[in-house]
Amino acid sequence: MNKKVTVPELRARKRCGPKIAMLTAYDATMARLLDAGGGDVLLVGDSLGMVVQGRENTLPVTLEEICYHGRAVARGTRRAHLVGDMPFMSFQLSALHALESAGRMMKEGCFEAVKLEGGEQYAEHVRAIVGAGIPVMGHLGLLPQSVHAMGGFRVQGRDEVSAERLLRDARVLEEAGAYAIVLEGIPAELSRRVTESVGVPTIGIGAGPHCDGQVLVCYDFLGMYSEVRPKFVKRFAELGDAVVAATRGYVAEVQSGAFPSAEHSFGGSAPKPRPAEETGARPVVEEGPASYGPASDEPS
């Protein structure tokens, strides 16, 4: 097994490289694939509100939902560092509330770090969480949890005043103990300035090439999510088209009777289905991990 990616290693990547490749994940199967492909960091993002739950924004996502998906992703992850997004209203109220929520995410969500949106106004919150031994990843620029205040998902930091504020936020987050900072939806030149002015790695999404790493939503980079297609998304595969084509093939074969063929059927002359003990398939009422039944009718 490849060595587990840790917070100290991610910090060191800023100086020594290689760049950090982070992706979101929401379930064990996807996590297993992204981990096998060498993703350094898996984030259970509150983007799950949009790409998993089909909502318009991330605001309704709850701590319980993040933890549920965290446990699933943790089961599929061996090497990658696992980060959980602190959902809207799980950290804003006070430093103590932020610490309580972060603690629950570590205990109930199996996370190794938490991420929260915002800068200077949450410095004390970051300090409290870090003080309890929980690594914090910051998130600046386009903040999806502030979608209504921003008037939509808009590029931030375009003028000098907001660029300066963002630079200050980044320095304050570093000073409060954040070990990395996500920069979302800002001009490439601003992310270069931020990256050069902090000692912790920056991880960009829609922030150009100068960051110390990049992050994409897994369904975006796999070409599976078409509701929104931001300019910064590069599709590394077109799995959405592949899924639709596979489904058409399945429907056609079920309707024509071509599936299942003898190859996908169990032998034997008895016309009635055999009991579960004989086929090895688990009864659906049984407690425990889901099973799709045996791959063949050979005795196991």
Residue (of 47, 115, 35) closest to 81 by Cα position? 35
Which span (39-47, 63-71, 273-281, 284-292) binds ligand KIV, by CB under 6 A?
39-47
- Close Cβ partners of 107 (under 8 Å, ≥ 6 residues apart): none
173 binds ligand KIV (CB under 6 A): no
Stretch that binds ligand KIV, among 2-10, 42-50, 68-76, 166-174 (CB under 6 A): 42-50
The residue among 75, 67, 85 whose CA lies nearest residue 28 is 75
Q: If you count them, how many residues does the chain have?
A: 300
Q: Is 224 in the site for ligand KIV (CB under 6 A)?
A: no
- DSSP class of 210: T
Please say if 184 is a catalytic residue.
yes
Among residues 47, 90, 156, 202, the one that binds ligand KIV under rule CB under 6 A? 47
85 sits near ligand KIV (criterion: CB under 6 A): yes
Quickly list H helices, the chain: 7-16, 28-36, 48-51, 63-76, 95-109, 123-131, 147-150, 160-176, 188-197, 218-221, 239-256, 276-279
Considering only residues 258 through 297, tell me which ones interact with ligand KIV, judged by CB under 6 A. Answer: none
Q: Please select the residue that binds ligand KIV; options are 24, 101, 156, 191, rule is CB under 6 A.
A: 24
Selected binder of ligand KIV within 170, 205, 207, 224 (CB under 6 A): 205
We find the least distance from the C-beta atom of residue 95 to ligand KIV, in angstroms, to be 21
Look at residue 190 and give its three-state secondary structure: helix
The DSSP 8-state label assigned to residue 294 in this structure reads -
Nearest distance in Å: CB 182, ligand KIV? 5
Q: Which position among 66, 128, 217, 224 is part of the footprint of ligand KIV (CB under 6 A)?
A: 217
- The residues pairing with 124 across neighbouring beta strands, listed in sequence order, are none
Catalytic residues: 184
Q: Tell me which residues touch ligand KIV (CB under 6 A).
A: 24, 43, 45-47, 85, 182, 184, 205, 215, 217
